């Protein structure tokens, strides 16, 4: 029996050594491959037809009939070797090319981006010919220029108030809010298209300033009052205002008239405010038991030129004039009402008509005088600069706005040109690291009220 088993194992081994050259009667498989791959992203233009040729195909053994299938946003749009797709809507669309023969298929995915008209860019609110005007410059691509009147262009018949006041971009919702008066109108605009979504029914008779308050709230200042609006439901709260003026809620300052300035610190535990009452010459902030109390009495402020958030949560700067007519820069922690530092500005460079932005990455305050810009490190123990870092534009031009991009690589400066030209508004862009001029564009707006930076929200 064992001998039989050994004989059978030998036969199996002999058979396994035989080289089988047959193809079982079938043709060799003709596998496919791309000669040149497609790019990962292609750019189309809204209301235009996008075309893309399939790359050349190599078949391994034999050229067999090829078939094509192009998908855009998971729908088959073409079955030829050329994709033709009409870009009727903006956005980024996942695309897939499938090429196959009778033996198999290969695939390639890519994105088709149809840009919105207004993505990353600079938005300028100005007064032109007695009316509010919005100008926009898309900063993607070096050949882009400002487009004037983008609100009017995209919203025919839906007018703003004649007196422009403030503009704010909410990145989370991707909305732009435009506050105008005469009459009071607050427009909520889709930021990528500049098309109006609705006019907000504001309970206050005046709105002169819009400030961000966390990711989902906007603070309205105007007519000496303050109110918060939730961006999702557009409902208003005025608890802090009531805490200032309403005796039934403990308000001890019934005649308070708030400046259009505030330092707002938002956290999950609550929102802290620091405001200035121009009538009683008091800084006010939330105290114990929901009361609003005066803080920083020792500053003896007469007026505030600026109240600005800085890089650390709760901290900010007050630029003020005191009873001795002295300009001062005050470093505070508004969240717990701590006065950190006070520096008198003795160089005479901080003046009433000025612009103040702060860095959100460094301890730097920018301030303007005429068409010059100064930089002050507010952790430098009061060493104010004697000379400016930038001289912008031409003699007689006046800086009206400054804004840093979120990465703080570029400083954008808005100014009104000297003279009586129709479009006074100009914008200059500087490299922050080298302070060199990157580009400038004059005559892009009317008399500038405010400039903001709009960064397209990224989605996964």
DSSP for 191-226, written as a single string: TTTTEEEEE---SSS---EEEEETTTEEEEEETTEE
- Let me know: does 194 contact 136? Beta carbons within 8 Å: yes
305: left (phi over 0), alpha (psi -120 to 50) or beta: alpha
Calculate what percentage of the chain has a pLDDT beyond 90. 79
Among the listed ranges 181-185, 350-354, 368-372, which one has the minimum average pLDDT value? 350-354
* CA-derived radius of gyration, the chain: 32
pLDDT exceeds cutoff 70 at 38: yes
- What average pLDDT does the chain have? 91
Tokens 């235009």 correspond to 48
**CA atoms in the 13 A half-sphere facing the CB of 301:** 28
Specify the pLDDT at position 458. Answer: 56
Instruction: Say if residues 275 and 253 touch (Cβ distance below 8 Å).
Output: no
**Residue 18: per-residue pLDDT:** 38
Residue 298 φ/ψ, nearest 5 degrees = -65, -15
Please determine, for residue 110, whether its predicted confidence score (pLDDT) is greater than 90: yes
Please give the model's pTM, rounded to 2 decimal places. 0.84
Q: Tokens for 152?
A: 């009017």
- Are residues 238 and 222 in contact, defined by beta-carbon separation less than 8 angstroms? no
Q: How confident is the model at residue 26 (pLDDT cuts 50, 70, 90)?
A: low
Is 26 or 185 the better-scoring residue by pLDDT?
185
Q: How many CB atoms lie within 10 A of CB 189?
A: 24
- Banded model confidence at residue 27, pLDDT cuts 50, 70, 90: low
Of residues 30 and 83, which shows the higher confidence score?
83
Question: What pLDDT does residue 23 have?
Answer: 43
Residue with tokens 């870009």: 87
CB crowding 370-397: b at 16 or more within 10 Å, else e: bbebbbbebeeeeebeeebebebbeeeb
Residue bearing tokens 């009361």: 291
pLDDT at 266: 79
The predicted pLDDT at position 12 comes to: 41
pLDDT, position 37: 87
Average pLDDT estimate for 429-434 = 97
Closest listed residue to residue 27, CA positions, set 67, 68, 63: 63
Give the residue-averaged pLDDT of 389-410.
96
- What local confidence, expressed as pLDDT, does residue 264 receive? 94
């Amino acid at each position: 029996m064992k001998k039989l088993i050994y004989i059978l194992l030998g036969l199996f081994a002999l058979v396994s050594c035989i080289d089988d050259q047959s193809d079982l009667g079938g043709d060799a498989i003709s596998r496919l491959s791309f000669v040149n791959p497609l790019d990962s992203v292609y750019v189309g233009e809204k209301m235009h037809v996008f075309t893309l040729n399939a790359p050349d195909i190599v078949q391994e053994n034999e050229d067999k009939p090829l078939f094509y299938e192009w998908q855009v946003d998971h729908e088959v749009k073409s079955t030829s070797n050329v994709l033709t797709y009409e870009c009727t809507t903006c956005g980024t669309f996942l695309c897939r090319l499938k090429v196959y023969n009778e033996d198999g298929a290969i695939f390639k995915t890519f994105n088709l981006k149809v840009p919105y008209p207004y993505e990353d860019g600079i938005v300028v609110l100005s007064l032109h010919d007695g009316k509010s005007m919005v100008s926009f410059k898309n900063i993607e691509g070096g050949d882009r220029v400002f487009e004037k009147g983008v609100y009017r262009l995209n919203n025919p018949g839906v007018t703003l108030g004649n007196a422009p006041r403030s503009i704010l971009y909410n990145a989370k919702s991707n909305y732009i809010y435009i506050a105008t008066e005469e009459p009071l109108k607050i427009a909520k605009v889709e930021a990528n298209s500049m098309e109006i979504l609705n006019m907000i029914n504001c309970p206050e008779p005046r709105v002169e300033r819009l400030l961000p308050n966390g990711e989902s709230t906007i603070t309205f200042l105007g007519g000496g009052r303050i109110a918060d609006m939730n961006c999702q439901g557009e409902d208003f709260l005025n608890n802090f205002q009531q805490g200032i003026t309403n005796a039934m809620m403990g308000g001890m300052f019934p005649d308070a008239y708030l400046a259009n300035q505030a330092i707002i610190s938002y956290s999950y535990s609550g929102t802290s405010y620091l405001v200035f009452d121009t009538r009683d010459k008091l800084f006010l902030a939330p105290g114990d038991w929901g009361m609003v109390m005066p803080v920083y009495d020792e500053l003896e402020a007469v007026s505030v030129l600026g109240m600005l958030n800085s890089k650390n949560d709760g901290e900010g700067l007050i630029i003020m004039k005191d009873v001795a007519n002295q300009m001062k820069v005050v470093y505070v922690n508004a969240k717990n009402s701590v006065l950190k530092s006070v520096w008198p500005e003795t160089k005479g460079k901080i003046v009433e008509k000025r612009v103040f932005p702060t860095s959100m990455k460094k301890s730097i305050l920018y301030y303007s005088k005429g068409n010059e810009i100064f930089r002050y490190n507010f952790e430098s123990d009061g060493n104010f600069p004697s000379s400016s870092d930038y001289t912008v534009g031409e003699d007689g031009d006046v800086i009206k706005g400054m804004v840093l991009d979120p990465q703080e690589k570029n400083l954008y400066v808005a100014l009104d040109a000297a003279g009586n030209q129709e479009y006074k508004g100009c914008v200059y862009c500087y490299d922050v690291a080298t302070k060199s001029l990157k580009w400038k564009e004059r005559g892009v707006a009317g008399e500038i009220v405010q400039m903001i930076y709009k960064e397209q929200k990224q989605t996964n």
